[in-house]
């Protein structure tokens, strides 16, 4: 019985110890949480900067680099809000090279201005290079505040192994050309000149062969118009009182004449367009313009408004057209000049088209 009581007492003691250990663990955990809470609620201390001085701070991601490696540098200047900060120049040929520069400025809660100058710099010369030993200045009204540039030294190391020399080898000495030109050079030059001469001669002969014969002289526009008028008269449309086909044919003869004589697109233009273009022609008199305008409007009335003029009006229209052609035709000298100019234009067009076009025209 005594043994049983001893075992029970041991078990109770062990249970009390475990409960005490758990309670202690919980108490420690609560204390840790409470301390962390107090630390988080504690107001962070704000760094105080003097209001009448220039304070300079900096940050750099690294100061030991290989040649050409970029380095990010930030210079921060804290000064009065109405101050203008000026930094000394740090760029020096290959020693310090600025790859990128950016500036930002903001007003702090304490009323001071914080100007941040962000640089991305590098170096292309081995050795140690201090960025600057000059002063950073801030102009406030008539007062100039100054502070020393941070002591920043850029250490540039070589990417070559330690046992390799960084001195470049000199270039090789120039090689002298032989004093005499080889025979094969003369042979090649001679063959090239002969080939060029033969090709030039063949081209000239071919051009003469392809020269087309001059085109036959074209019939003057007034002769074509007069022949067409005689053919119209022979159809006896006047005697049959067929006014619409008569005016249609007569109007077409006149439009074709205007196209050949005055270089108008008369068959496809309206009466107003033809009259407008001929009003600027110095070759027509006012009476001739009026005569042309009156006839074409009368022809439009017959063709489109289905008018039916009397036979005397039809005869007058025929004679008016014939007189207009006779009065405005080119003289023999003018006709020859006109043909020469036209032939010249044709030759220029053929030359621009090339020999292949001339051969195609000859085959036609």
DSSP 297-316: HHHHHHHHS-----HHHHHH
- Classify residue 90 as left (phi > 0), alpha (psi -120 to 50) or beta: alpha
pTM comes to 0.37
Residue 325 CB-density burial (10 A; 0-12 exposed, 13-18 middle, 19+ buried) = buried
Quick one: pLDDT at residue 364?
A: 46
Residue ranges with strand state E in 108-192: 112-122, 127-130, 135-140, 143-148, 153-157
Contacts of 284 (CB under 8 A, 6+ apart): 278, 292, 328
- Beta strands, E only, the chain: 55-60, 64-66, 71-80, 84-86, 97-107, 112-122, 127-130, 135-140, 143-148, 153-157
Would residue 133 be called left, alpha or beta, if left means φ above 0 and alpha means ψ between -120 and 50 degrees? alpha
CA distance to 223, 225, 329, 364, per residue, from 231 (Å): 12, 10, 19, 31
Q: What is the pLDDT of residue 357?
A: 47
Question: Environment class of residue 274 by beta-carbon count within 10 Å: exposed (0-12), middle (13-18) or buried (19+)?
Answer: buried
Strands 135-140 and 84-86: antiparallel
User: Are the CB atoms for 100 and 119 separated by under 8 Å?
Assistant: yes
Measured distance CA(115)–CA(235) in Å, rounded: 103
CA 68 vs CA 58, 96, 108, 117: distances in Å = 22, 10, 36, 21
CB of 281 closer than 8 Å to CB of 259: no
Q: Residue 137's beta-bridge partner residues?
A: 86, 146
**Structure-block tokens of residue 247:** 């005016």
- The 3-state DSSP class for residue 76 equals strand
Report how far apart, in Å, the C-alpha atoms of 201 and of each of 188, 196, 197, 209 are: 20, 9, 6, 12
Three-class SS state of 176: coil
Residue 149 has a pLDDT of 93
- Per-residue confidence (pLDDT) for residue 20, from 0 to 100: 75
Could you give the CA distance from residue 277 to residue 296 in angstroms, rounded to a whole number? 14
The residues of the chain scoring below 70 in pLDDT are 1-14, 36, 38-46, 162, 164-168, 177-179, 209-217, 266, 305-307, 331-364
How far is 336 from 217, CA to CA, in rounded Å? 9
User: CA-to-CA distance for 283 and 289, rounded, in angstroms?
Assistant: 10
Q: What residues have CB less than 8 Å from 246, skipping those under 6 apart?
A: 232, 237, 238, 314
């Amino acid at each position: 019985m005594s043994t049983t009581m001893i075992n029970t007492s041991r078990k109770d003691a062990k249970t009390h110890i475990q409960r005490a250990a758990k309670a202690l663990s919980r108490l420690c955990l609560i204390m840790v949480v409470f301390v962390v809470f107090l630390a988080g609620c504690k107001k962070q201390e704000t760094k105080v900067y003097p209001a009448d001085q220039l304070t300079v701070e900096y940050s750099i991601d690294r100061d030991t680099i290989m040649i050409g490696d970029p380095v990010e540098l930030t210079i921060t200047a804290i000064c009065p809000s109405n101050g203008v900060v000026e930094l000394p120049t740090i760029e020096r040929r290959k020693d310090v090279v600025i790859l990128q520069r950016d500036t930002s400025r903001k007003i702090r809660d304490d009323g001071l201005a914080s100007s941040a100058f962000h640089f991305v710099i590098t170096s292309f010369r081995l050795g140690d290079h201090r960025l600057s030993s000059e002063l950073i200045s801030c102009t406030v009204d008539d007062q100039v505040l100054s502070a020393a540039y941070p002591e920043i030294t850029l250490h540039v190391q070589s990417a070559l192994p330690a046992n390799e020399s960084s001195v470049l080898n000199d270039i090789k000495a120039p090689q002298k050309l032989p004093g005499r030109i080889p025979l094969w050079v003369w042979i090649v030059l001679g063959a090239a000149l002969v080939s060029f001469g033969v090709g030039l001669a063949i081209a000239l002969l071919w051009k003469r062969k392809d020269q087309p014969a001059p085109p036959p002289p074209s019939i003057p526009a007034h002769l074509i118009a007069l022949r067409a008028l005689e053919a119209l008269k022979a159809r006896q449309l006047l005697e049959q009182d067929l006014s619409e086909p008569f005016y249609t044919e007569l109007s077409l003869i006149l439009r074709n004449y205007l196209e050949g004589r005055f270089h108008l697109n008369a068959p496809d233009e309206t009466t107003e367009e033809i009259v407008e273009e001929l009003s600027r022609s110095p070759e027509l008199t006012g009476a001739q313009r009026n005569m042309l305008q009156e006839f074409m409007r009368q022809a439009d009335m017959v063709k489109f408004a289905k008018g039916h003029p009397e036979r005397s009006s039809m005869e007058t229209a025929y004679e008016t057209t014939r007189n207009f052609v006779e009065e405005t035709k080119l003289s023999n000298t003018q006709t020859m000049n006109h043909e020469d100019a036209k032939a010249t234009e044709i030759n220029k067009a053929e030359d621009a088209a090339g020999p292949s076009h001339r051969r195609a025209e000859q085959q036609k």
